[in-house]
Amino acid sequence: MEHTEQEKQTKLVEGLERLAFGNVTDAIKLLFCDELNTRILNKLDLFNISEIKRPKGGGIEIKFYDRLKALQCLQELYNGQSSDTSGFYRALEQGVKTFEEDES
């Protein structure tokens, strides 16, 4: 299924808005969850997480996507400007294209 440019733009904006304004409550739940299984993980919204690690010493390390970069990208889209964050935008756009190709 091929998407129009407008649909792609809408998906990008929605993704950036989720990164910029999204809730991290489920990530906090993940930190304090004693027992992890796929049933629990499938219910969590972990969209804002860029990386999860379990260090050798125990515990869990969670890294989040940069909210400020997402906001800068949104500002660029709304203002039609370009800056060094446009590379971030291009990477997101390429990710959407790759995702769409994988779904086909």
Domain spans in the chain, listed from the N-terminal domain onward: 5-103
Q: What residue type is assigned to position 19 of the chain?
A: L
Q: Mind listing the pLDDT tens digit for each residue in 17-58?
A: 999 999 999 999 888 887 878 888 899 999 999 999 989 988
Q: What distance lies between CA 46 and its chain's CA centroid?
A: 8
Instruction: Tell me the pairing of strands 49-53 and 61-64.
Output: antiparallel
pLDDT at 10 over 70: yes
The CA distance from 26 to 36, in Å, is: 13
pLDDT range class, residue 81, cuts 50, 70, 90: low
Global pTM reads 0.66
Residues 16, 45: Cα–Cα separation, whole Å: 15
* pLDDT at position 50: 93
C-alpha dihedral sign at 93, 38, 30, 56:
negative
